[in-house]
Amino acid sequence: MSSAARVTLFEDIFEINALNPEGKKFERVNRLSAKGTTFDCDLLLDYNCQIYSLHEEEKMTLVLASTLNLDGSPDDHTSYNPAASFKNEPTLADNYEYVMHGRVFDVSYKKDGVVVIAISFGGLLCRLTGDQRHLSNILPDMRLFILIKKD
């Protein structure tokens, strides 16, 4: 098993359907609505649009990971160091353009095996809805990283 497989909780390519579908609420934040191309999940995601740019109809790879350590060793979630890559310490983040750290604050099970997962990234919210078979590795109160790159 590759080290990436050990740390990856979920991965899919999403096509962005809309930006700010309910109107823009904050100057530095966009909310995107997207659909997964492989697992057919629905995604609502807030992100800092001053430091990362996404557009409607673009595709992006999204990964949820338990750690950024390439060897799969657990992350203590207290000492994230984005400058680690400058010290010749490669991390999973090196392969992505936008990374946030957060906590799962709600997992709701709906009819027909659908699960809705809510994650907070320091106030920027994420809601991922899909078949629980594909999202079963994501648990309540779990701390995780979201990693994004454009395709």
Predicted confidence (pLDDT) per residue in 125-140, tens digit: 999 999 999 999 999 9
What's the confidence (pLDDT) of residue 1?
45
**32 contacts 43 by C-beta, under 8 angstroms:** yes
* Residue 61 CB contacts under 8 Å (≥ 6 apart), including other chains: 11, 12, 13, 14, 96, 148, 149, 150, 151
Predicted confidence (pLDDT) per residue in 16-73, tens digit: 999 999 999 999 999 999 999 999 999 999 999 999 999 999 999 999 999 999 888 8
Q: Which pTM does this prediction carry?
A: 0.90
User: Which residues on neighbouring strands pair with residue 115, listed in sequence order?
Assistant: 109, 130
Per residue, the 3-state secondary structure of 84-132, as one string, reads: HHHHCCCEHHHHCCEEEEEEEEEEEECHHHEEEEEEEECCEEEEEEEEH
Output DSSP code: residue 25: -
Q: What is the dihedral of CA 42, 29, 51, 85, to 10 degrees?
A: -60
What's the confidence (pLDDT) of residue 74?
85
Predicted confidence (pLDDT) per residue in 82-108, tens digit: 555 445 689 999 999 999 999 999 999
User: How many angstroms separate the CA atoms of 51 and 66, rounded?
Assistant: 23
- Would you kindly state where each structural domain of the chain is located, as residue ranges? 8-150
CATH number of 8-150: 2.40.50.140
- Average pLDDT in the 103-123 region? 97
